[in-house]
Structure 1
Amino acid sequence: MCTTTLYQYSSTEISFQLKCGHCGEITQKETYVSLVETVPLPIGKGHTHLVQKCKFCGRDGTITMITGRGRPLTHADSEAAKSAPLMLFECRGFEPLDYVFRGEWEAKSLEGTKFEGIDLSGDEFAEYDEKGECPVMVSKPSATFNVVR
């Protein structure tokens, strides 16, 4: 049996649709948030990863990515039908919806075989771990957003 740790995100860009917390308008296009890019907050001191104005009501919203609060999805998680928290966001004025699996992902087998540059936008990845002598597959990735207070 081959066991694999999956979904270690190797990109710094997250993509999803947003819902305005004031008027409920949902963005028509995907919004990208980058861990390596920050902008000044519109009011007060500090920085955030995204400042965006709602096209319907005109109010500003911000999203800040908080590192160090996520972990990879393991084979044990997958077998138990559990999810893994990949990233924590501080959202003010917007609510993230419909995560889009873009960018490069990686998987690592317990034998140490690393699969890099995985594209999950097609909803499936399949490869063979020659060292562990078993297939490696990721299919139908899904995401949810949970409110943390």
Structure 2
Amino acid sequence: MVNYLLMVVAELENLTNLEPEGGCDDPNFSYLFKLKCGRCGEVSQKETCLTLSETVALPVGKGTTHLIQKCKFCGRDGTVTMIAGRGKPLTGEASESGKHTPLMLFDCRGYEPMEYVFGSEWKAESIAGTKFHSIDLSGGEYVEYDEKGECPVMISNLRSKFDVVK
């Protein structure tokens, strides 16, 4: 069992508190990333989609997980379970310093998460207090104008990594 913490950072211009639309533990927020088999090293060709609200029963024992998948190359089964409660919004201060912020923790057995894909349904707040909803980051950036604060707002240079944690 290895836990991987998804860490994100972006350049925020006149924005703060970037996070999934329903908060970091939003049960309907989709996490998209590729998986690498822990046995043969094969990386999935398509992204896997996980949400907190969708679980499946474990084939052995009593419990649930968010994904059970068989490696297409070697046939080994693996699971990925999401663990809520570790994520927090990316603040303007963290963005300025280039510090990655935790978003979600994944308990991976037989797989390693790779290449997180930013999607839609994010929210942020301008430095003037204007709330921006349904932000789509799938294009790699977001540009808008804050009428209340009379300033442009932008999200760019999106980056992510998976840190191994205990």
TM-score by length of 1: 0.93
| Counterpart pick for 1:41 among 58, 68, 71 | 58
After TM superposition, give the deviation of residue 83 of structure 1 in Å: 1.0
After TM superposition, give the deviation of residue 6 of structure 1 in Å: 4.0
Q: Any conservation in 2 of the 1:42–1:51 contact (CA below 8 Å)?
A: no
Aligned residues: 148
Query: Are positions 1:137 and 2:154 aligned together?
Result: yes
| Counterpart pick for 1:68 among 80, 85, 100 | 85
Match of 2:8?
Answer: none
SS of residue paired to 1:143: strand
Match of 2:142?
Answer: 125
Q: Which runs of 4+ in 1 moved over 6 A?
A: none
Match of 2:19?
Answer: 8
Change (3 A) 1:9 1:35: same
Match of 1:30?
Answer: 47
Structure with the bigger RCO (C-alpha within 8 Å, sep 6+) is: 2
TM-score by length of 2: 0.84
Instruction: Note the aligned Cα RMSD (angstroms).
Output: 1.4
- Structure with the larger strand share: 2
Deviations 1:78-126 (A, max 9, x none): 1111110011111111100000111311111243211111111111101
Partners of 1:29 and 1:78 lie apart in 2 by 29
Partners of 1:84 and 1:43 lie apart in 2 by 35
Deviations 1:64-83 (A, max 9, x none): 11111100101001111111
Partners of 1:29 and 1:4 lie apart in 2 by 32
Partners of 1:22 and 1:107 lie apart in 2 by 39
Structure 1 gaps of 5+ residues are none
After TM superposition, give the deviation of residue 3 of structure 1 in Å: 4.1
